[in-house]
């Protein structure tokens, strides 16, 4: 296990934090985070993307680093391709929530928009009795739920939203990613999700045949998906307005 340095007293987030989670592992969280990063770098103030906990291959962090040039991407990396909690447990160690939160809050001081990619799904165990849901609540982050447009997505999205609803209200949007070879349900999932999760916004992202794991490719893809990414990124509410919703 490799850990970033930490240890400063608890800070308060000064930037807007957008947490990218998913209905499962390997649903496209890194792709969506990198596309949002590429989009935001050309339109927002200072922005950074982090993958606090990673395991196995480190190609995901390389894309973030190439896009933004920041060296710190991970708080901890695990060589085995397992959930962080599972790896640490087998090593006789556990990751604490407080040090991770302190590190994330430190990173939030360095930008105006912080994109945080979760590990696995919303309730995947990350460390000693905490999940991405706990981090989202503590960070008061907005949430992007990444889901694949395939059979089963209605149930998967509703389960994630039910878990989110167990905590204080948080701004939430859904990124519905098209499959390379769509099944029959892909024809109806988008309209059904709109009906089921209203007023939460569902944004479709088309399948990108030519997407390659490098910054140039992600910048080009982000330009093609400009409108969808703008919706997915959303905007902060002005002061003294309702805590949910968008403004033009």
Catalytic residues: 51
- CB–CB of 51/70 below 8 Å? no
Contact between 232 and 29 (Cβ < 8 Å): no
29: which 2 tokens?
A: 């969280």
Q: How many CB atoms lie within 10 A of CB 152?
A: 14
Q: Tell whether the torsion through CA atoms of 21, 26, 31 and 37 is positive or negative.
A: positive
The DSSP call for residue 47 is E
CA 120 to chain centroid, in Å, comes to 10
Residue indicated by tokens 């988008």: 190
Helix (H/G/I), strand (E/B), else coil: 94: coil
**Cα–Cα distances in angstroms (integers) from residue 143 to residues 39, 42, 53, 133, 169, in the given order:** 17, 21, 17, 10, 11
Give the whole-angstrom CA distance, residue 228 versus residue 218. Answer: 14
Place of tokens 């991770």: 100
Torsion, Cα of 185, 191, 196, 202 (10° steps): 100
Nearest to 74 by CA among 86, 85, 58: 58
């Amino acid at each position: 296990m490799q850990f970033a340095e930490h240890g400063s007293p608890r800070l308060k987030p000064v930037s807007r934090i957008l947490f990218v989670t998913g209905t499962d592992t390997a649903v496209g969280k890194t792709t969506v985070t990198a596309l949002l990063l590429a989009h935001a770098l050309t339109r927002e103030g200072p922005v950074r993307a982090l993958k606090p906990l990673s395991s196995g291959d480190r190609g995901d962090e390389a894309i973030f680093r190439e896009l933004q040039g920041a060296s710190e991407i991970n708080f901890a990396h695990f060589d085995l391709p397992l959930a962080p909690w599972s790896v640490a447990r087998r090593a006789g160690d556990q990751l604490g929530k407080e040090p991770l939160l302190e590190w994330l809050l430190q990173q939030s001081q360095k930008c105006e928009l912080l994109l945080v990619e979760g590990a696995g799904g919303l309730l995947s165990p990350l460390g000693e009795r905490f999940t991405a849901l706990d981090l989202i609540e503590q960070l008061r982050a907005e949430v992007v739920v990444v889901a694949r447009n395939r059979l089963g997505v209605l149930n998967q999205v509703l389960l994630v939203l039910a878990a989110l609803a167990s905590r204080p209200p948080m701004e939430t949007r859904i990124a519905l990613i098209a499959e390379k070879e769509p099944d029959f349900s892909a024809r109806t999932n988008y309209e059904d999700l709109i009906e089921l999760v209203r007023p939460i916004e569902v944004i479709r992202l088309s399948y990108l045949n030519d997407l390659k794991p490098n910054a140039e490719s992600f910048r080009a893809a982000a330009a093609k998906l400009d409108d969808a990414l703008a919706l997915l990124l959303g905007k902060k509410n002005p002061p003294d307005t309702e805590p949910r919703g968008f403004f033009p």
